[in-house]
Structures are given as structure tokens and as C-alpha cells.
Structure 1
Amino acid sequence: MPKRKDPCQDCSCRIQSCLQANKYQESKCLYELEQMRLCCVKWHEESMCCSGINLERTYLDGKTCVKETKHKKTK
């Protein structure tokens, strides 16, 4: 039986891409980090990508409403 894809793998890949594009400045990838945290809140028992993620830390401090939509980048 084929193994299911990790439900948070896409979020993890988006974080890596963002960090690489922004010279590893975490502050430039807060949206992606928050999306990963939200994914892990839901899937932490099934996702290997979630090991070590602090589920209680928020990255956006309530300043932005996080939805399952594409992140708009500011100029």
C-alpha cells in the first residue's frame, strides 16, 4: 500500500523556498512560517515535518488574518 504524502510537506517546501529567496531572514517568511504552524496544529500527529515545531508560537501576532489563500507580497 503506498504511503500517504505528508500533509505539511508543501508548507515546509514553501518555507525553504522563501528562506532561500530572502537570504535566510526568518522575518521575511512569517506568513509561510505561520501557515506551517497552522498545518501542524491540525496534522502534528501525522506529519513528520512538524517535529520540533512550537505549536503555541504565532508568527503574525494577530496583525494579519491567515486564510488558505495566496499570500500577497508587498512592494
Structure 2
Amino acid sequence: MATTAVIDPDDMAFWGFDGSSDPVFDVLGAKPRELVQHADLGWCAWIEVSHLASNRSLYFEVGANGTVVEIESC
């Protein structure tokens, strides 16, 4: 099932410092294990999903326009 999500990229830089809500968790329902800003000022969030005996790592790019797209790796 495909869905559309948008995160304000400005929120990504400050959520861990100013006590505001985590925009990745708000959109994806999981706290990021890693959040990396790329040279083009886009962001990549890595989350891990655990279900019973299996784990899966998922990577999402947050574009400059705020769109969230699953990618292969950060």
C-alpha cells in the first residue's frame, strides 16, 4: 500500500534540540535510528522495524520540498 507523507525539512534540524515533536516518528510511526543531512540539504532517516522474530531496516529520503520517499540506503 503506497502512501504520501510530507515533513517540513526545517523541523528535521531542530527536533532533537528544542524539545519539539519528532517529525519522523509523527509521519512514519517509528523513531529514527539515524538521521543524516546530505550536502544537497536533503535528509535521510533510517528506521528499524521489528516484528516477532524478524527485523528490517528501512531508509527514507526527505527531499527539500518535504516529500518522504523510501530509498535503498542512506
TM-score bracket for this pair, using the shorter chain length: under 0.3
Q: Which of the pair has more CA radius of gyration? A: 1
TM-score (norm: length of structure 1): 0.27
TM-score (norm: length of structure 2): 0.28
Q: Which has the higher strand share?
A: 2
Higher relative contact order (CA 8 A, sep 6+): 1
